[in-house]
Amino acid sequence: MGLRVNKKRQFLFISKLIAKHLAVHPAIALGTGSLLSSLLMENTGLAPHPDAERIAVMIDSGEPDTALMQKALQYKKELPGKTVFIGMAETATGLGHATFQHFLGADYIHTTREAITGSEPSFVFEEEHSHATSHKVYAPEGMLEEAETIVLVDDEISTGNTLINLVEALDDQFPGKCYKCLSILDWRNSTQRAKMDEFTARRGIQADVLALMSGEFTLHHGQSPEDVAAEKLAGDTGATLKEIMTETVARSSATNQRYIPYTGRFGLSSAKQKELEQWIEDAAAKIAPLLAGEKALVIGIGENMYVPLRFALALGGDVKVQTTTRSPIHAAQTPGYPIQEKAAFQLPDMGSVDQYIYNLGQVKADRIYLIAESVIQREEWLPLVSYLEEKAPLEWISLTN
């Protein structure tokens, strides 16, 4: 458990599985998505993922098995009825994608905090306790209208309020859907579960909640320590930006950030997922291979989590993944507390929103790969790039030119 720098809700559960606030091996993060997909398979009358038990043992032990996950990711099934998966920004965009990728004939999209120039979102809903409350969804025309089942994927359900807000927003605009809500953790107590049941009964909809673990917690409020604002990174470097080109979508942000079609921000079909998997293998092959015994860290930016995970898995070897975040968390060098250090910075390509990365001093890496979807104002990235170069030799990669 960590302490948010946020008066609306001052706690958060910090996952050791999803590669957001803490660095993890890609096999662990991707395997967690495979376990959620197995829950859904069983819930819909299919056999579970054949490697589910071995994946669970791998995650439980903390000993990643790259070969197991490369094999497990090839297992794909078709769900009954037209199904759309929605991953929750920003922590569960990779988890939602990792769950979706096991299904044929399905579509994936994730919510986003970004405003896209000249585009109206399909719908918007609120996450009241968050540091950035509004979620937007930019779905292709017909995707949500034609869906029979909508699968919502998040890393953790605390009270269920965000889940209700999301289902309500969807049901208002796209009525008549069946909902499956997948999560690693479900912390709702009996009152909160009853609230969800009352909501679905009133709406006349079905919404199954499936979680890998469930329980309850009680929060005893104490005196919160004053958070010392992290000093913004500053520095310069002559680092070379390597561009691994792929197609881009015909949309951009207010700061001209460009997007690739493989993240799920604007919708991703199962057919496009297959294309993504081949593109990742080709992209990883363009990077100098890891030397024997070399440790690597792959860093993704913000909501772009799945592509860095697959890139890292394709690299093979002793590699971990972590992504930057908008979430401000209190850092303290207290024994047992999960967030020991943080670095703060701004990326103008991201609308000059404060970004953070945590605990890099605890990650031992011989090489770091920084993967950006686009780099528009190169000089404004240099404080982050120079900070990372102090940790290890750096490969700075943009997926667009």
Residues 201 and 300 in one domain: no
- 94 phi and psi, to 5 degrees? -70, -40
pTM confidence score: 0.95
- The two tokens of residue 215 are 């329980």
How high is the mean pLDDT of the chain? 92
Residue 261 is assigned to a structural domain of this protein: yes
- Express each pLDDT in 228-259 by its tens digit: 777 889 989 999 999 987 788 888 888 888 89
Domain that holds residue 109: 26-214
- Axis crossing angle, helix 270-285 with helix 306-315, rounded to the nearest 10: 50
- The two tokens of residue 15 are 């996952």
Residues 257 and 159 in one domain: no
Residues 208 and 264 in one domain: no
- Express each pLDDT in 205-224 by its tens digit: 999 999 999 999 888 877 77
pLDDT value at residue 350: 63
Residues 296 and 154 in one domain: no
Please give the tally of structural domains in the chain. Answer: 2
pLDDT value at residue 103: 98
- Express each pLDDT in 274-288 by its tens digit: 999 999 998 888 887
Residues 192 and 271 in one domain: no
- 69 phi and psi, to 5 degrees? -70, -35
Residues 31 and 153 in one domain: yes
Q: How far is CA 279 from CA 63, 315, 371, in A?
A: 27, 13, 15
pLDDT value at residue 401: 86
For residue 15, the 8-state DSSP code is -
Residues 56 and 199 in one domain: yes
Give the domain CATH number at 265: 3.40.50
Residues 209 and 98 in one domain: yes
Q: How far is CA 115 from CA 87, 206, 251, 309, in A?
A: 17, 31, 11, 25
Residues 245 and 206 in one domain: no
